[in-house]
């Protein structure tokens, strides 16, 4: 445990983030205090989520003409059908249910210096689909309906730092995509703002260094998806980055530097993506939910006839700590735990991740960069070995020091029910070729964070792993 308070404050942003990442504990709110507070939050702020038949939902109905599921106010989101066709990844055509929620929400993190070290204002937030009730969210997590009052709920605490930008300086601000397999063209605004004035205290919030949050990313289901997404946009400097003498962390530190050699130049990576987008198509056509082939609806769920992918269920939520105290809503429930992983390796001492150019049903622009592997393995249980996801075995079977990072993390609990995945960063085995199939490229971490200043380069699973990397050993 290292407490770095009192060291001279660095001035460049990347160095300031690094100093905060190096601080794995803090006198402002120690790890011990955090766990007391967080355990108490989880204990006291219980809520009950109960599956109910669709007919018992209040305000939610199936449109008689299309079978689409929506709220009678026209707000929140709808579950629709989508017909998809792409000539990428060997060529596929399919139809599926998908969530359409066009408005752009804010995932906003307030940071502030205490004793020269940046701290993040984290919130203990409950979401109905979360496995462990309450998780750690960014300072603000709000749909536009939330913060403009459509929900008619309580005002969003600290929203003013993001909406009116009162007394705050923006450090990062980009639109990033979410779950293209489940959402139609969804994206949220990922913001980091710095505040220098006093921030009002509130019992649902605490100040943690980036290093403290990184330590929490080693735990299962503590740090929520929105926090991981926002953290992935942070550029760290290599200078002074804590390595603890491990070979992995030394290679990670080198991967943060613009001066270290990368397998491909960023121009080459951008050209590869441009080529894919120029040559391939992702045709998306909204269709009535009732017309979606191979999916059925009964009183309790919308499901795939082979039990694959996910179901749409109805739930009733009773909770103390949300905008309104009780409601019913549909949730999307994956059929099993997902597997999400990057193969990684040092190349000339610099950590590289094997990124996959992946087309997803609800994607905005043909492909985004995804982890090496991202799937529900059960979807492929009946497939020939050649049709199973490439590299899945390498991600699943790695053990010991070849596993740089390994934890179970939840997807967004406001729309997804018990949706979790095993997130892993795994060392590529001896003899794994540097030459990659054309759907893959080796990238460094600083190339990734440079691109993350812009929108829609990395999908949300890749962003989760990029955030998690820093807690790897």
Give the contact letters, 396-415, x = binds to a copy of itself (CB under 8 A), - = no: --------------------
- Please identify, among the stretches 16-24, 135-143, 165-173, 410-418, the one whose residues bind a copy of itself according to the rule CB under 8 A: 165-173
Does the footprint of a copy of itself cover residue 172 (CB under 8 A)? yes
Q: Which of residues 174 and 221 has its CB atom nearest to a copy of itself in the complex?
A: 174
Q: How many residues bind a copy of itself (CB under 8 A)?
A: 23
Interaction of residue 274 with a copy of itself, rule CB under 8 A: yes
Name the minimum Å distance from CB 454 to a copy of itself: 5
34-53: which residues touch a copy of itself (CB under 8 A)? none
Residue 268 in contact with a copy of itself, rule: CB under 8 A: yes
Cβ proximity to a copy of itself: between 112 and 424 the closer is 112
Give the separation between CA 357 and CA 377, rounded to whole angstroms.
Answer: 19
Q: Does 270 bind a copy of itself (CB under 8 A)?
A: yes
Q: Confirm or reject binding of residue 453 to a copy of itself (CB under 8 A).
A: yes
Using CB under 8 A as the binding rule, whether residue 261 contacts a copy of itself is answered as: no
Start-to-end C-alpha separation, the chain: 15
- Look at residue 213 and give its three-state secondary structure: helix
Scan residues 109-148 and list those touching a copy of itself (CB under 8 A): 144
DSSP-assigned states of every residue in 312-342: EEEEEEEESSSSSSEEEEEEEEESS-EEEEE
Of 123, 137, 144, 113, which Cα lies nearest the Cα of 20?
A: 113
Is 167 a residue that touches a copy of itself (CB under 8 A)? Answer: no
Considering only 22-30, 277-285, 307-315, 379-387, which stretch makes contact with a copy of itself by CB under 8 A? 277-285
C-alpha closest to that of 20 among 173, 141, 171: 171
Helices (H), 316-459: 392-397, 445-451
Cα(145)–Cα(71) distance, rounded to whole angstroms? 14
Q: Pick from 40, 275, 306, 393: which binds a copy of itself (CB under 8 A)? A: 275
Q: Where are the alpha helices (DSSP H) in 280-318?
A: none
User: Is there binding between residue 278 and a copy of itself (CB under 8 A)?
Assistant: yes
Q: What is the DSSP letter of 155?
A: P
Cβ distance to a copy of itself smaller for residue 173 or 301: 173
The binder of a copy of itself chosen from 119, 151, 186, 189 (CB under 8 A): 189
Closest CA to 101 of 145, 141, 147: 145
Please report, for the chain, how many H helices and E strands are present, in that order. 11, 24
- Does 150 bind a copy of itself (CB under 8 A)? Our answer is no
Q: What angle do CA 189, 193, 198 make, to 5 degrees?
A: 140
Whether the Cβ atoms of residue 459 and residue 235 lie closer than 8 Å to each other: no
Tokens 């059925």 belong to: 296
Burial class (CB in 10 A: 0-12, 13-18, 19+), 401: exposed
Nearer to a copy of itself, 51 or 144 (CB): 144
User: What are the helix (H) ranges across 151-193?
Assistant: 160-163
Nearer to a copy of itself, 10 or 105 (CB): 105
Closer by beta carbon to a copy of itself, 283 or else 293 = 283
69/99 Cα distance (integer angstroms): 9
Question: Which member of 2, 33, 89, 271 binds a copy of itself (CB under 8 A)?
Answer: 271
Closest distance between a copy of itself and the C-beta of residue 256, in Å? Answer: 19
Largest CA distance in the chain: 66
Q: Does 277 bind a copy of itself (CB under 8 A)?
A: yes
12 lies in the site for a copy of itself, by CB under 8 A: no
Stretch of 61-69, 199-207, 296-304, 452-460 contacting a copy of itself, by CB under 8 A: 452-460
Please tell me whether residue 267 binds a copy of itself under the rule CB under 8 A. Answer: yes
Using the rule CB under 8 A, is 196 a contact of a copy of itself? no
Q: How far is the CB of 179 from a copy of itself (least distance, A)?
A: 18
Q: Distance (Å, rounded) from C-alpha 39 to C-alpha 66?
A: 45
Task: Please give the full DSSP string across 230-258, using - where no structure is assigned.
Answer: HHHTPPPPSTT---TT-HHHHHHHHHT-T
31 binds a copy of itself (CB under 8 A): no
| Residue 17 · residue 213 · CB < 8 Å | no
Binds a copy of itself by CB under 8 A, chosen from 48, 55, 175, 473:
175
Q: Judged by CB, which is closer to a copy of itself: 107, or 376?
A: 107
- Compare residues 175 and 434 and give the one whose CB is closer to a copy of itself: 175
Write out the binding residues for a copy of itself, residues 77-106 only, by CB under 8 A: 104, 106
- Give the residue, chosen from 9, 48, 55, 170, that forms a contact with a copy of itself under the rule CB under 8 A: 170
C-alpha 452/C-alpha 465 separation (Å) is 13
Instruction: List 113's β-bridge partners, or say none.
Output: 118
Binding site for a copy of itself (CB under 8 A): 104, 106, 144, 170-175, 189, 191, 267-268, 270-271, 274-275, 277-279, 453-455
């Amino acid at each position: 445990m290292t407490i770095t308070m009192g060291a001279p404050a660095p001035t460049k942003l990347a160095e300031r983030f690094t100093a905060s990442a190096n601080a794995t504990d803090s006198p402002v709110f120690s790890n011990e205090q955090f766990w007391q507070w967080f355990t108490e939050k989880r204990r006291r702020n219980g809520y009950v989520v109960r599956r109910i038949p669709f007919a018992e939902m209040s305000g939610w109905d199936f449109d008689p003409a299309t079978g689409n599921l929506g709220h009678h106010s026209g707000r929140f989101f709808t579950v629709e059908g989508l017909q998809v066709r792409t000539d990428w990844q060997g060529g596929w055509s399919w139809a599926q249910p998908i969530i359409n929620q066009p408005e752009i929400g804010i995932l906003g993190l307030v940071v502030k210096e205490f004793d020269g070290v940046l701290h993040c204002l984290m919130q203990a937030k409950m979401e109905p689909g979360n496995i462990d009730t309450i998780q750690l969210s960014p300072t603000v997590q709000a749909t536009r309906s939330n913060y403009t009052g459509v929900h008619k709920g309580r005002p969003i605490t600290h929203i003013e730092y993001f909406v009116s930008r009162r007394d705050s300086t923006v450090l990062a601000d980009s639109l990033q995509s979410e779950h293209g397999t489940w959402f139609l063209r969804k994206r949220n605004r990922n913001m980091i703002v710095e505040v220098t004035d006093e921030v009002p205290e509130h019992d649902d919030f605490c100040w943690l260094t980036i290093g403290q949050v990184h330590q929490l990313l080693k735990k299962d289901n503590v740090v929520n998806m929105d926090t991981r997404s926002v953290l992935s946009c942070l550029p760290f400097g290599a200078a002074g980055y804590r390595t603890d003498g491990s070979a992995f962390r030394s290679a990670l530190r080198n991967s943060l530097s613009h001066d270290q050699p990368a397998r491909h130049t960023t121009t080459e990576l951008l050209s590869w993506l441009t080529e894919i987008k120029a040559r391939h198509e992702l045709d998306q056509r909204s269709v009535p939910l009732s017309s979606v082939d191979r999916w059925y609806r009964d009183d309790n769920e919308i499901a795939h006839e082979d039990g694959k992918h996910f179901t749409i269920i109805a739930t009733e939520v009773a909770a103390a700590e949300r905008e309104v105290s009780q409601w019913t809503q549909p949730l999307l429930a994956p059929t099993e735990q997902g597997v999400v992983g990057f193969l990684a390796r040092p190349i000339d001492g610099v950590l590289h991740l094997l990124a996959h150019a992946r087309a997803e049903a609800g994607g905005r622009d043909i492909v985004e960069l995804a982890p090496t592997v991202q799937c529900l393995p059960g979807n492929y249980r009946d497939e020939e070995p050649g049709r199973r996801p490439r590299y899945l075995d390498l991600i699943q079977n790695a053990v010991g020091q070849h596993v740089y990072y390994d934890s179970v993390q939840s997807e967004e609990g406001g729309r997804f029910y018990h949706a979790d995945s095993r997130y892993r960063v795994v060392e590529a085995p001896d003899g794994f070729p540097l030459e990659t199939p054309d759907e893959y490229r080796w990238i460094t971490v600083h190339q990734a964070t440079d691109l993350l200043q812009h929108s829609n380069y990395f999908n949300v699973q890749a962003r989760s792993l990029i955030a998690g990397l820093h807690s790897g050993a």
